[in-house]
Amino acid sequence: NAGVMQNPRHLVRRRGQEARLRCSPMKGHSHVYWYRQLPEEGLKFMVYLQKENIIDESGMPKERFSAEFPKEGPSILRIQQVVRGDSAAYFCASSPQGTGSYEQYFGPGTRLTVT
């Protein structure tokens, strides 16, 4: 049973470019979460999605960041006009049902470097 898959694993973008991060949840999981880990910091929640719905985006920056989880295909985290401060590890997690007592399982992450 494949775990959570993320790609690319490493992404380098120049300031002002767009970054697209992809996440495929574990088989049987319909809930996806995105977290960001800045250097030397803890993980911070960004957004929680189910298929075709954003359930909680309280952790998303107000500008330049968006997320989707279409009916078909992976979840996408999109960062427009990247800045150096966006350099971080972005982790996707999935769970079989919404977080309540359900554990979340994490993918290997995408390390974004903005030059």
Site residues, other proteins (CB under 8 A): 33, 35, 41-45, 48, 55-56, 58-59, 89, 91, 93, 98-109, 111
Asked if 16 and 115 count as a contact pair (C-beta separation under 8 A), the reply is no
Residue type for position 47 = V
Asked if 73 and 23 count as a contact pair (C-beta separation under 8 A), the reply is no
Instruction: Give the C-alpha separation, 81 to 65, whole Å.
Output: 9
Instruction: Give the C-alpha separation, 23 to 33, whole Å.
Output: 9
- Taking the complex as a whole, how short is the minimal distance between the CB of residue 16 and other proteins, in angstroms? 27
Q: Closer to other proteins at the Cβ: 60 or 79?
A: 60
Q: Beta partners for 110? A: 90
